[in-house]
Amino acid sequence: MKATFLFLSGVGFQEILLIGLFILVFFGAKKIPEFMKGLGKGVREFKDSVKDVKKDLEDAGDSAKLDDGK
């Protein structure tokens, strides 16, 4: 059974293993956890900013409804 993802539709296990080995050699074993930690922080900040924008839009919509009702 071959797992297919949207962005990895033509990539098999051997290719993923080769890419992982290249990353290990290029960055080194000590840098990978730091890189993943930074990536996780970036994703978390992005999600938080998306939530803030949605909240601001909802608040603006609620205030516009209140202004129309007066």
pLDDT score for 66 = 66
pLDDT score for 42 = 93
Single out the residue of 41, 23, 40 nearest to residue 32, CA to CA: 23
Question: Which two structure tokens, joined as six digits, stand for 52?
Answer: 């803030």
pLDDT digits (tens, 9 = 90+) for 12-70: 888 889 988 888 888 888 888 888 899 899 999 999 999 999 998 888 877 767 666 55
- Domain parsing of the chain, residue ranges: 29-69
pLDDT score for 27 = 81
pLDDT score for 1 = 43
21 Ramachandran zone, left/alpha/beta (phi>0; psi -120 to 50): alpha
User: How far apart, in whole angstroms, are the C-alpha atoms of residue 8 and residue 54?
Assistant: 31
